[in-house]
Amino acid sequence: MASSTENDASSDAYGLTRDEVESKRLNAQHNVWKTNIGHLLHPRIQSDLAESPCIGDIGTGTGVWVVDLASEMAGDGKAARYQGLDISPSQFPSSPPDGVVFSTFNLLEPVPAHMQATFDVIHLRLLVLGLPRNTWKLACENILSLLKPGGWVQWEEADFARIKVVQNMPGVSISAARELTEQILHHGRKSGQGWDDVQNLASTMSSVGFRDVSVDLFSSDRVASTREGFNDSTIGALAGMIKMFVKADGEASFWNEAGAQLHADAASELADSKAYYRAEINVVYARKTI
């Protein structure tokens, strides 16, 4: 997620760390994600771009998506401008490429006047840990405010509420990975995570006034070679969530006493892709009325 001012920690709902380990995880995750959905910017959106589009990436983190897109589009003849937006600047690249700027921005606060109707495209990916339950409609309203008339939004989320652990060979144990996932989802719901808002994202966009709302559905294991990378990314995120629960959850005793061992057992089951996580990836795209 992202902030128009330097926010204090109380306004930041994102639960994972923003250290070097997490930055490496996000960068590796980007490649897995791009390979499975097959694009950075949806072809429908790319075909409709203005000559000098302004493209924003909310929840930019390390900026890997927006920097990659700027590189990919460098030879297309468009004088595009790119802006990475996040509630925290701590993972912004120290030397961004020309044409790419980074700013703080909070998607759940009123959009500043100078940012309203300024973007041709807004991209978002995996904000499920940064948007608590019952805030998704507000987020969609603020995205609508950021876009120019006719502008596009592309929002990608994995349906982690229904994530599966599947075997890649007969007889492989997956009990620890399943239990870890169930415990994470249970505690996440108790703490207000918006796991279940992902399935309603398209209808939420429609309800605030977006038109031409469409959903492309992919599997995280569509390209078999990415399964290990998706495992690594997911198990890394779960480790961060355990730390979050220990810090904030009233039932954190489970995580203090058994969480680390359960996580280690799950990681062992998933090693060498003996088993792997599989989730549906929703790519929701829509446009603002002209």
Q: pLDDT value at position 178?
A: 96
Q: Is 48 exposed, middle or buried (0-12, 13-18, 19+ CB in 10 A)?
A: middle
Instruction: Give the C-alpha separation, 20 to 239, whole Å.
Output: 14
The answer, yes or no, to whether residue 36 has pLDDT greater than 60, is yes
Q: Is 188 exposed, middle or buried (0-12, 13-18, 19+ CB in 10 A)?
A: buried
More confident: 204 or 252: 204
Binning pLDDT at 50, 70 and 90, where does residue 7 land?
very low
Average pLDDT over residues 100-115: 97
Neighbouring C-beta atoms of residue 101, cutoff 10 Å: 14
Q: pLDDT value at position 282?
A: 98
Token look-up 């993972």 returns: 91
Q: pTM of this prediction?
A: 0.91
Which pLDDT tens digit goes with each residue over 44-55?
Answer: 999 999 999 999
Pairing of strands 164-167, 275-278: antiparallel
The answer, yes or no, to whether residue 26 has pLDDT greater than 80, is yes
Average pLDDT over residues 174-192: 91
Every domain of the chain and the residues it spans: 9-287
Average pLDDT, the chain: 90
Binning pLDDT at 50, 70 and 90, where does residue 9 land?
very low
The answer, yes or no, to whether residue 72 has pLDDT greater than 70, is yes
The answer, yes or no, to whether residue 40 has pLDDT greater than 90, is yes
Share of the chain above pLDDT 90, in %: 74
Cβ pair 163, 181 in contact under 8 A: yes
Binning pLDDT at 50, 70 and 90, where does residue 13 land?
low
| Fold annotation for 9-287 | Rossmann fold (3.40.50)
Cβ pair 220, 281 in contact under 8 A: yes
Q: pLDDT value at position 75?
A: 81
